[in-house]
């Protein structure tokens, strides 16, 4: 019988690293989004706001157009 020799220090560090990665994955799912997702959302919001502002009517100019002539 030949048993495989295991360095316990490396095994411990590897298992700790795996636990941290799993916890980080859970936290990302639970709490947040990636920077790319956030930047895409911000870009879409600014684009839609610019488009909406471009289609907005000015209240001052519309009041002048509809005044009765004197």
Model confidence over 54-70: pLDDT tens digits? 887 877 655 555 566 65
Better pLDDT: 59 or 3: 3
Q: What does the domain layout of the chain look like in residue ranges?
A: 18-50
Burial 17-41 (b: 16+ CB within 10 A, else e): eeeeeeeeeeeeeeeeeeeeeeeee
Model confidence over 7-61: pLDDT tens digits? 999 999 999 999 999 999 998 888 888 889 889 989 999 999 999 888 878 776 5
Give pLDDT, residue 15: 96
Residue 1 pLDDT level (bands cut at 50, 70, 90): low
Number of Cα atoms under 13 Å in the Cβ half of residue 43: 6
């Amino acid at each position: 019988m030949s048993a495989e020799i295991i360095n316990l220090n490396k095994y411990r560090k590897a298992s700790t690293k795996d636990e941290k990665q799993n916890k980080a994955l859970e936290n990302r799912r639970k709490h947040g989004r990636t920077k790319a997702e956030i930047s895409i959302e911000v870009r879409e919001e600014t684009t839609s706001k610019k488009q909406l502002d471009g289609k907005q009517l000015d209240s001052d100019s519309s009041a002048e157009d509809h005044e009765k002539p004197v």
